[in-house]
Amino acid sequence: MIEEIVPRWMKEQNVSGGWLTAEYSMLPYSTQARKARDISRGKLDGRSTEIQRLIGRSLRAVTDLEKLGGRTLWIDCDVLQADGGTRTAAITGASLAVTIACRKLVEEKKIASSPVRKLLAAVSAGILDGIPIVDLNYEEDKAVTVDFNLVATEDGELVEVQASGEEAVFTQTQLDEMLGLGQAAIAQLIQEQRDVLARVSASATG
C-alpha cells in the first residue's frame, strides 16, 4: 500500500525522498499448531521484528527512494503456509509487489519513472547429512546442520547473506556450494517474477 506521507523522523531530520518499510506476520493457521497473533501478546516477537527489518532493508537496497518522492510504500507480508523459508518467500513476493506498485505510480503520472532499480529474490539453503540443499521445507529446515539464507538481485549482486551452524561447523567449500545453489535458484525465481510481471502488463493493456 502507498501512503502520501513519510515517517515523522524523515521530516524532523530533513531527509528527502520517500520511504519503504515492511510488516511481517505468520497467520494463526499457517503452522501445524495454531500460532497466536502478536497482538494477543501485546508486542511483536523478536523473530518477526528481525524478519520485517530484513525485508525492508533488502527492498530499499534496490529502490531509489528519491524517485519514490514524499510517500511511504508499505509491504505487508502475511504468511499463509509456513513450510520453511518464510522470510525468503516474503522477500521474493515483496519484490513483485513493490515493482507493481511503482508501475502504478508511473501510470498515474505521480512519478516520472519507476524507482525500482532491479528485481530481487531470496532463497534458503542448508547442509543436510553433509549434502548442500536449497529451498528447504519445514522438515528439512529442522534437520539441517547449517542454515543459510541468500538475498540477491537479478544480475547476481548480493544483498544479504546469512549463514550459521546449528550446533555444527561448516567449511568454505560448503559455503561456496550453498551460495552457488542459492544463486541458481534465485535466477529461476527472477524468471518467474518476470513471467508474472509480463502477465500483469498484458492484463492491464488487454
Which residues pair with residue 151 across a beta bridge?
A: 122, 160
Quote the DSSP letter at residue 88.
H
Please identify every stretch of the chain with a pLDDT value under 50, giving residue numbers as ranges: none
> What residues are paired with 149 via a beta bridge?
124, 162
Task: Output the domain CATH number for residue 71.
Answer: 3.30.230.70
pTM summary value = 0.90
Q: Specify the pLDDT at position 94.
A: 97
Count of the separate structural domains present in the chain: 1
Question: What residue numbers bound the domain in which 91 lies?
Answer: 2-205
How would you classify residue 166: left for phi > 0, otherwise alpha for psi between -120 and 50, otherwise beta?
beta
Estimate the crossing angle of helix 86-107 against helix 172-205, to 10 degrees. Answer: 30
* C-alpha span between 6 and 72 (Å, rounded): 5
Q: What is the pLDDT of the chain when averaged over all its residues? A: 92
- Closest-CA residue to 193 (of 88, 121, 90): 121
pLDDT at 33: 77
pLDDT given at position 48: 86
Q: Give Dmax over CA atoms of the chain in angstroms.
A: 54
Measure the CA–CA gap between 72 and 51, rounded to whole angstroms: 19
Grid cell, residue 63, equals 529502490
